[in-house]
Amino acid sequence: MKPFRVWAIARKEAIHILRDPRSLGMAIAIPMLLLLLFGYALSLDVDNVPTIVWDQSASHESREFISRFDGSRYFSIVDHVSSYRQVERAIDSGQALVALVIPTDFAGRIESGRVAPVQAIVDGSDPNTATIAMGYLDVVAFTYSREVALREIRRATGQVVHPPVDLRARAWFNADLESKNYIIPGLIAVIMMVIAALLTSLTIAREWEHGTMEQLIATPVRSNELILGKLLPYFGIGMLDVALAVVMGEFLFDVPLRGSPALLFAMAAIFLAGALSLGMLISILARGQLLASQLAMVLTFLPSFLLSGFMYAIANMPVPIQALTRLVPASYFVTMLKGIYLKGVGLEVLMLEAGLLVVFGLALVLLANRRFRKKLV
């Protein structure tokens, strides 16, 4: 391999990128736009759940119970209604996600020490949000019930009774349980995979379509020199995208980077080399820009978005799908990013994922070099 040949091909590709604003815009602007869009728009947090109340009791006890929901950051009382028809209309129209129906004898049952049933109607159109909202309902209702029970015991016996178990939960690594701290690191991997494969998926195909491949074949440039030379400019752009994403995550989204930046960029370089080689392999096999871009989207975006653990926990997937995720390299990089970002761990914990990323990168580079032949057919 001659370095000056590699440099000549890399310089040629860099000039082409600079002369084509669309390619340069795709390489830099689109990743930043995706990060902004997903970072702000995509949220798994369930806060301020719109709630309506039908308080048939209209008592001090019922108002105290309602205040527990109104004072919580998880619920927002948007209206008070007076019939099931209004409840149904509010749920159907999307005005409310939760409806609380308090019976007329609520205060009497509380004062006499009996169980006071309260109906909670939840819109189950979005099962994930509904499940989380029902969990919040249970916690608020349980807290209120415990306080009422302890207050009645204190009134009857004159003694202050404490609960036998005082559970104090503490979340490590993401103490505020903000979904952006979970989403942004994984999003970096998805964007890198998609953009890298899309960019390089057009390189060889473009040469065939424009008729310049024949000229390259006539030169003494070897196949591996051509592949490496075409990868280098996009590798530089990809690492620039990684740096911009890290800076945006740190200063725009306030996502903490607790681990080693050097380790992050080293693993990003390995992953990026594999992603670029995958795009190059697609370009070699497709020989057409339209088909290459379509294949790149199918083979990168869908697996990276759905099967990498970025959005959906792999452990919750069916066993056959979990096995399929092992073939998605983005899943290992997502695990590494979350470990480096949130937990601050290093290779002592992430050695397996790092090794698999190295295997992925080397395999794709070698496969792309093997599949490319300087032949017209």
Tens digit of each residue's pLDDT (9 = 90 or more) over 337-360: 989 998 889 899 999 999 998 998
Least confident range from 90-94, 141-145, 268-272, 306-310: namely 306-310
Q: CA-to-CA distance for 142 and 343, rounded, in angstroms?
A: 32
Domains identified in the chain and CATH numbers? 11-43+178-371 (no CATH), 49-157 (3.40.1710.10)
Q: CA-to-CA distance for 84 and 79, rounded, in angstroms?
A: 13
- % of the chain beyond a pLDDT of 90: 24
Count of residues making up the chain: 377
**What pLDDT is stored for residue 215 in this prediction?**
65
Tens of pLDDT, residue by residue over 79-122, are 999 999 999 999 999 899 999 999 999 999 888 888 899 999 99
* Residue 283 predicted with pLDDT over 50: yes
Least confident range from 219-233, 303-317, 356-370: namely 219-233
Asked if 309 contacts 330 with a C-beta cutoff of 8 angstroms, the reply is no
> Quick one: 313 exposed, middle or buried, by C-beta within 10 A (0-12, 13-18, 19+)?
exposed
Three-state SS at 160: coil
**What pLDDT is stored for residue 55 in this prediction?**
94
* Residue 15 predicted with pLDDT over 60: yes
Mean pLDDT, the chain, integer = 84
E strand or H helix that includes residue 102: strand 98-102
**What pLDDT is stored for residue 211 in this prediction?**
63
Residue owning tokens 């070699």? 284
Q: CA-to-CA distance for 98 and 297, rounded, in angstroms?
A: 39
* Residue 376 predicted with pLDDT over 50: no
Three-state SS at 150: helix
Tens of pLDDT, residue by residue over 215-272, are 666 677 777 777 788 788 888 888 988 998 899 888 888 888 899 999 999 999 999 8
Rounded mean pLDDT of 205-209?
Answer: 67
Q: CA-to-CA distance for 243 and 249, rounded, in angstroms?
A: 10
Tally of CB atoms within 10 A around 343 = 15
**What pLDDT is stored for residue 373 in this prediction?**
65
| Adjacency order of strands within the sheet including 49-55 | 75-80, 49-55, 98-102, 119-122
Asked if 134 contacts 147 with a C-beta cutoff of 8 angstroms, the reply is no
Q: CA-to-CA distance for 308 and 171, rounded, in angstroms?
A: 23
Nearest to 43 by CA among 206, 178, 193: 178
**What pLDDT is stored for residue 327 in this prediction?**
87
**What pLDDT is stored for residue 265 in this prediction?**
93
* Residue 374 predicted with pLDDT over 60: no
Q: CA-to-CA distance for 293 and 201, rounded, in angstroms?
A: 6
Q: In 51-67, which positions are buried (b, 16+ CB within 10 angstroms) versus exposed (e)?
A: bbbbbebebebbeebbe
Report if pTM > 0.85: no
